[in-house]
Structure 1
C-alpha cells in the first residue's frame, strides 16, 4: 500500500502486531495499550511520541471482534475485521466504524438454506461452539431454517480445539478514506451499506478419510473440491450455482435427510402431534379442494363452478345435470307413459262423442265429463314442461299451469259429486233442494273454484315468479339446473287447495256411494279421490327430501299417476258399461 501512489499519496503507514490469543480481556488490553502508547495502559490518554493511530485490523473471531468494536466505537477509530461474521456487527447504528472483508452470518445462512433445499433435505444436525457466539449463531440459524420448514434434529456443542478453521489467503489493508480496493488479482472490491465486502461464497466438497488407528475422521490437505458458488448479488433464483456431477458422495449416493416422504400433488401435509414440523403425514385434500404442488401446506378450494379431478391435482368444470332425454332413460319412460295416456284419453273422448246420447254418458253430466277428459289430457301434457333444460319461461308455467288445469279437473269432479247429492235429496216431495237443480249449478261451481286457483297463480307470478336456478353444492362435481318455486307458500297453497278439493269430493262421494242408481258414479269418484290423495300424500314428503332431478322425477310421477288414476277409476267403468250393454243405448236412441 505504501508503494502504491494512487492509494495514499505522501502518506506512509506502519503497524504494530498483537496476538489476542482468542481472549476478550487480552484484546481489550491490547487495544488500550495501542491507544496509550505501547508502554503503559492509560485510558483516554496517548503517550506516543510520534505517529498517529489510523485504524485497527482484526480480529479473526467474532467473540474478540465485538469488544474491540464496542471500545473503538467510543473513540471513533475504524476497525476492519478479516474473519468476524457475527450478524450483529452489521448494525451500522451500533457499529458505524466497523468494517469487514467477509460477509456476515446471514449470507451464509441463506446460502446454507438454499443448499439444503436444493438437495431436498429437511432434517439436519448443527455443530457449534459452546459459547455466547455459538448460541447466538444457533438461534439465528434455527430461525432461518424454520422459515423454510427445515427441522433441527440435534445440536452438538464443541470446544474450540475441535473446530477446524479455514485458512485466510490474504489480508486486505486499506485506508477508510476509500470505499473500494483492489485485491491481488486486480479485482475491485467495495464495502456495502453494512460495512461488508460482498463476494461469492465458494461451495467446497470436503472429502473425508478415516484413520485406521484411531477411527477418527480427518480432513486432509488437498481433499477439497469446488462444486459451486453462492452469489447474493444475483436474483434469488440464480444465487445458487452448483454442479451435482462434481460432488463425491460416500457410497456414491446422495444422502437422504428427510423425516417424511414428500406429499404428492393432491395431498397436503398434516404435522404429527408432538413431533417436528418436518415429520408429517400426507393427507388427501378434502372434497372440493386440490393441491397442484409437492409438499403443499394447504389445499386450495375450487371455484363454485369447478370440481377436483380424480387425483385432486387440478380443478375441472362441473358437469351440468338436469332431467334430459339425452342422458336419462327415465325421461323416455315418462314420455312413453305420457303419450300412451294421452292416446287413451283421446280414445275415451272419441267413444264418449260417438255414444254421447247413451244413458251412461248422459246420466252424469256429459259436458262435465268432456271438461274433465280435456283437462286430464292437458295435465298429462304438462309432463313436457318438466323434462328438459329448465328455463325461466318453463319454470314460471310448470307448476302454475298444471295447478290451474288440475284444479279444473278436481272442481268438475266436485261439481259432479255435488249434483249427485242434490239430485237424490231433491227426490223427496217438497224438498228445498229442488231449487238448486239446474244446468248452471255445476258450471258455476267449476268457474268459482277454478278462479281461486287462477287468482293464486296470478299473484304468484306477479310477486315471486319461479325462475331457473343453479344448485352448486347439492351433488359433488355437478351443477344442477332446476326451477326455484320463487314463493314456497304459493307453491304449497296450490297443492293444498287441490288437496282440499279432493278431500271434499272424497267425503261427499263417500256419503252417496250406496245410493240406488245403476249409473251412480259416486263410488268411482270415491276411489279416484282416494288414489289422488294417496299419490300426493306420498309424493310431497318424497319431493321435500329429494334434490336435483330426483325432485323432477317425483313431480312427473305424481302428475302421471294422479291423472291416470282419475282417468281409469272414473271413466274405465263407464267404457265397460258402454261397450258391454248396448241394449239400454238402443232404447235410448229409439226413444
Structure 2
C-alpha cells in the first residue's frame, strides 16, 4: 500500500503532480521549452533542496531494513510549486484537490485519494492561504517555514502544525552577542510586517535592559510601490550612520532581499547580524556576495541528517529520469541535451555533474532549516500513521488487498500528541503549546575568496543555560568584513577609560556620552564606560589617574616635623624668657620700678605667660583624649588669668592716680586691695564655662580625612562648638574690655606708668586674635593647629614684650635709672 504526501514549495510551477515513488514526469520536449527551459529561476533552484529532503526522508522510511516504522506500507508523494500570488496559490490548491486542470470547487475527478497530509511552506502567507482552504476538509497540514504565531491560532487554523521551533529568545541571543563584543550602537533593518514589528518590540526591550542603543530602524515595506518610494531614504540612512553593526530581520521572500540586491555598496565595511531565514547568499549577482563576508547568522541548532548531503550530491537525471526540473538543471549548468524521441536526458549526460558543483547562490549544499523541518514532518506523519494503523488494523475493512482505508482527518488525534526522536537524535514534538525555543548555532559567513560561501559554526546560544554561560563563542574562528582578525567597533562614543565616567549628551541616546574625569577621591577602575565613579573609603584616597584607592598616611603636627619642631622650640624659648623675666623681677623686687606697678600682679602675669607659652606644647604631638581636653581648657584658663591680671594692673594704675586727688572716695578701693579680686572673679567665670563644656560635650580625638590629600589627620574635635565659642568669646570680651580700660589710662603721667605699655600690649593681643579667627577658618588639617599655636605664642609674646621688655632693659642694661626705695 502506498500513501502519498503532498509538498508545496515556492517557485515556478513546472508540473502538477508527483505520485508514488517517482519524481517529476516529463511529458514532451515542447512543453519543456515552452515552460522556459532556456532560463532558470535562481530562487526556484535554491528551494529545490526542499524537494530532495522530502524524497530522501520518504525513501529512508521505505528502505527501513528493520521494518519498525510502517511495515508493509510505503510512502509516496506529490509535489506542487506555487508563485507569490494569492490567485496562483488558490489555483494550485484547487488543482490538487479536484484532480483537474480546470478545477471545480467541491468536486474531484479522482476515484480514490490516498493523500494523508500536506506539507506547506516556506512562507507563512502561502501556508495560511492553503490552510484556510484545507480546514474545510479537516486535512492535516504541516508547515516547514519559520515559526509564525499567527499560524498557531487554533481558531483560524485548527488543523495546522508548525515544525519550526519558536523564536522567543532570538532577540535575547542577538543582544547578548552585541554585549559580548561591546557593540552598543547598532542599526536595525526589518520587514514592515507583523513579524518584523514584533521582533522590533522584543529586541528594543532587551537592548534597553543591556545598554545597547539603536542608531536607526530601517523598515522595508512589504509592497513594491512603498519600497521604491522609500528606497533612496533607506539607502542614505544606512550609509550616513556611524553604526558599523546592522541587524537584519526578515526572510528571503520579502522585499528586504530586493533592497540589498540594488544597494551594491551599502554592505561595505559593515558587520551584518541576521538569521538563517534571510540568506546572505540569495543574490543573483556574484559580486554582491563579497561584502557579506563576515556576517554572523543565527540558525536553529539541529543534528546532522546522516546521508542527506550524499544523497543530494549523487542525485542526477539518470537516477530520476522522470524529474523534469532535475533535467532542467542539468540542461542549464552541464550542457546536456534532451532527446525528443525518448523524452529523457541522454545517457551520455547521466554521469556528468553534481548539484554540489553549482554556485552557492543557485544551489547551497548546506542543509537549510526548511529542509530539516520537512525531514521531521515526514517522520511525524510516518509515526502518526504507524500508531494509527496499529490501533485500527484489526477493525478496518480491507479493499482488494490494499490494507486499511481511512480518512486524513482521522490522523489529528494521533498527530497533535506525537513525540519521538528523529534519526539525527533530536526530539520532535507536535504539541504547539509546549514547543520550546531550541538552541541557536551562530554561523560566520566566509566568502573570501569570492564564491566560497562557507558558513562556519563559531558559537552557540542557549537560553536554558545559567546566566553567563548562555552565549559561547570561538572568536579566533571569526572572519570579519574588514578582512582582519581584530574585532570591529561599533559605538556612538569612544569608551570612557579608567578614571573617567560617562556624562550623557543632552537629547541623545544613553550610548552617546562624553567622558568626564572622576572627582577627587573617586575612581573608575573598570575597563570602560562606568556610569558613576566609586568613592574611596574614608581611610583611602584616589591616585592621580583616578583608577585605584591608596591607603592614606596618618599625620598630625608632630614634634619631628620641621614646623612642629620650630613651634615647640619657640614655645620653650619664650617660656624660658618669661621665667627669666620673673627671676629678674624677683631679684629687683624692692626697686621702685617693680614696686610702682604692683609686683604681685607682675609675678602672677609672668607666671601665667610662662604657662601660656607652655600650653602651646599640648597642641603639638599625637593627640590623645587627655591632651584634647587639656588643650582648650588650659588655654582658656591661663589666658584668662593673664588678661585679668593685665586688667587688674590697669585698674591699679587708674586707682593710684585717682587717689592722689584729695577727697576721692576711691582711696578705699585701692587700700582694700579690690583690684586683686579681679583675677579670681574673671577666672571663676571662665572655669565655670569650661566645666559646663566638659560636662556637656568635651573635646575628643577625631580624624580629618578631607583636609589634606592622601592623609588622615588626627585632630582634636572641639566637641560642643557652642561651648567652645562661649569660652573663646568670653576671653575676647575680657581682652577688649581690658584694652578699653588701658586705652583710657594711657595718658596718665608718671615715670614708671605702665598704662601705655598695657594699652599697646592689649592692642597687639587683640590684633593677633582678630587675625587668627579668619585665618583659622580658612586653613585645614595640621596647618590649622599650627596657626592656633602661632597665635598663642604671638599673643603671649606680645604681652611679654610690650609690658616687660622696657623694664627688663632698664634693670639689666640701665640699672642706674632704677633708683632705690631705701
User: Runs of 5+ in structure 2 lacking a partner?
Assistant: 1-60, 221-253, 259-277, 283-363, 385-414
Partner of 2:477: 246
Q: 2:123 aligns with which of 61, 64, 72?
A: 61
Deviates more, 1:415-424 or 1:133-142: 133-142
User: Runs of 5+ in structure 1 lacking a partner?
Assistant: 211-218
1:171-320 alignment to 2 at 5 Å? 171-173=375-377, 174=380, 175=384, 176=415, 180-189=419-428, 194-196=434-436, 198-207=438-447, 223-249=454-480, 252-254=483-485, 256-259=488-491, 260-275=493-508, 277-305=510-538, 306-320=540-554
| CA distance, structure 1, for counterparts of residue 677 and residue 631 of structure 2 | 27
Task: For residues 462-499 of structure 1, give each alpha carbon's deviation from its aligned partner in whole angstroms, at most 9, with x where no partner exists.
Answer: 12323333445555555444333333333233223223
SS of 1:201's equivalent in the other structure is strand
Q: CA deviation at 1:68?
A: 7.3
| CA distance, structure 2, for counterparts of residue 206 and residue 407 of structure 1 | 93
SS of 1:572's equivalent in the other structure is helix
Return closer, same or farther for 1:145/1:99 CA change in 2, 3 Å cut-off: farther
Q: CA deviation at 1:232?
A: 4.0
Return closer, same or farther for 1:538/1:67 CA change in 2, 3 Å cut-off: farther
Partner of 1:384: 617
The aligned length equals: 577
Partner of 1:337: 570
Q: CA deviation at 1:26?
A: 7.0
SS of 2:638's equivalent in the other structure is helix
| CA distance, structure 2, for counterparts of residue 29 and residue 350 of structure 1 | 132
Q: 1:424 aligns with which of 657, 667, 688?
A: 657
Contact kept in structure 1, 2:166 and 2:435, CA below 8 Å: no
Matched, 1:363 2:590: no
Q: CA deviation at 1:459?
A: 1.4
Q: CA deviation at 1:564?
A: 0.5
| CA distance, structure 1, for counterparts of residue 194 and residue 257 of structure 2 | 16
SS of 2:468's equivalent in the other structure is helix
Contact kept in structure 2, 1:531 and 1:565, CA below 8 Å: yes
Deviates more, 1:411-420 or 1:64-73: 64-73
| CA distance, structure 2, for counterparts of residue 370 and residue 183 of structure 1 | 114
Partner of 2:674: 441
| CA distance, structure 2, for counterparts of residue 483 and residue 49 of structure 1 | 110
| CA distance, structure 1, for counterparts of residue 755 and residue 143 of structure 2 | 115
Return closer, same or farther for 1:448/1:235 CA change in 2, 3 Å cut-off: closer
Deviates more, 1:163-172 or 1:356-365: 163-172
Deviates more, 1:178-187 or 1:20-29: 20-29
Q: CA deviation at 1:540?
A: 1.7
Matched, 1:398 2:631: yes
Q: 2:748 aligns with which of 515, 520, 539?
A: 515
Q: CA deviation at 1:236?
A: 4.3
| CA distance, structure 2, for counterparts of residue 47 and residue 386 of structure 1 | 117
Q: CA deviation at 1:562?
A: 0.7
Return closer, same or farther for 1:207/1:191 CA change in 2, 3 Å cut-off: farther
Partner of 1:214: none
Partner of 2:143: 81
| CA distance, structure 1, for counterparts of residue 155 and residue 535 of structure 2 | 49
Contact kept in structure 2, 1:203 and 1:228, CA below 8 Å: yes
Matched, 1:112 2:174: yes
Partner of 2:582: 349
| CA distance, structure 1, for counterparts of residue 651 and residue 135 of structure 2 | 114
| CA distance, structure 2, for counterparts of residue 155 and residue 387 of structure 1 | 73
| CA distance, structure 1, for counterparts of residue 473 and residue 615 of structure 2 | 75
SS of 2:519's equivalent in the other structure is coil
Matched, 1:151 2:210: no
Deviates more, 1:514-523 or 1:240-249: 240-249
| CA distance, structure 2, for counterparts of residue 334 and residue 376 of structure 1 | 16
Q: CA deviation at 1:529?
A: 0.8
SS of 2:546's equivalent in the other structure is coil
| CA distance, structure 2, for counterparts of residue 91 and residue 36 of structure 1 | 27
Return closer, same or farther for 1:240/1:446 CA change in 2, 3 Å cut-off: closer
Q: CA deviation at 1:312?
A: 1.8
CA RMSD of aligned residues (A): 4.2
Q: CA deviation at 1:560?
A: 0.6
Q: CA deviation at 1:538?
A: 1.3
Q: 1:537 aligns with which of 765, 770, 775?
A: 770
| CA distance, structure 2, for counterparts of residue 29 and residue 476 of structure 1 | 86
Task: For residues 406-449 of structure 1, give each alpha carbon's deviation from its aligned partner in whole angstroms, at most 9, with x where no partner exists.
Answer: 11111111111111211221123332122222364233221112
Q: CA deviation at 1:524?
A: 1.1
Q: CA deviation at 1:338?
A: 0.5
| CA distance, structure 1, for counterparts of residue 94 and residue 618 of structure 2 | 102
Return closer, same or farther for 1:345/1:156 CA change in 2, 3 Å cut-off: same
Task: For residues 39-92 of structure 1, give each alpha carbon's deviation from its aligned partner in whole angstroms, at most 9, with x where no partner exists.
Answer: 8767xx999998999766443224445677899999998764322134677899
| CA distance, structure 2, for counterparts of residue 125 and residue 446 of structure 1 | 87
Contact kept in structure 2, 1:289 and 1:302, CA below 8 Å: yes
Deviates more, 1:157-166 or 1:484-493: 157-166
| CA distance, structure 1, for counterparts of residue 215 and residue 762 of structure 2 | 80
Matched, 1:526 2:526: no
Deviates more, 1:445-454 or 1:497-506: 497-506
Q: CA deviation at 1:115?
A: 3.6
Return closer, same or farther for 1:185/1:493 CA change in 2, 3 Å cut-off: closer
SS of 1:390's equivalent in the other structure is coil
Contact kept in structure 2, 1:264 and 1:295, CA below 8 Å: yes
| CA distance, structure 2, for counterparts of residue 439 and residue 547 of structure 1 | 50
Q: CA deviation at 1:451?
A: 0.7
SS of 2:520's equivalent in the other structure is coil
Return closer, same or farther for 1:107/1:95 CA change in 2, 3 Å cut-off: farther
Q: CA deviation at 1:334?
A: 1.1
Q: 2:780 aligns with which of 524, 544, 547?
A: 547
TM-score, normalised by the number of residues in structure 1: 0.82
Contact kept in structure 1, 2:213 and 2:509, CA below 8 Å: no
Deviates more, 1:294-303 or 1:162-171: 162-171
SS of 1:313's equivalent in the other structure is coil
Q: Higher RCO, 1 or 2 (CA under 8 Å, sep at least 6)?
A: 2
Deviates more, 1:309-318 or 1:189-198: 189-198
Return closer, same or farther for 1:67/1:459 CA change in 2, 3 Å cut-off: farther
Return closer, same or farther for 1:102/1:432 CA change in 2, 3 Å cut-off: same
Return closer, same or farther for 1:430/1:116 CA change in 2, 3 Å cut-off: closer
Q: 2:715 aligns with which of 470, 482, 486?
A: 482
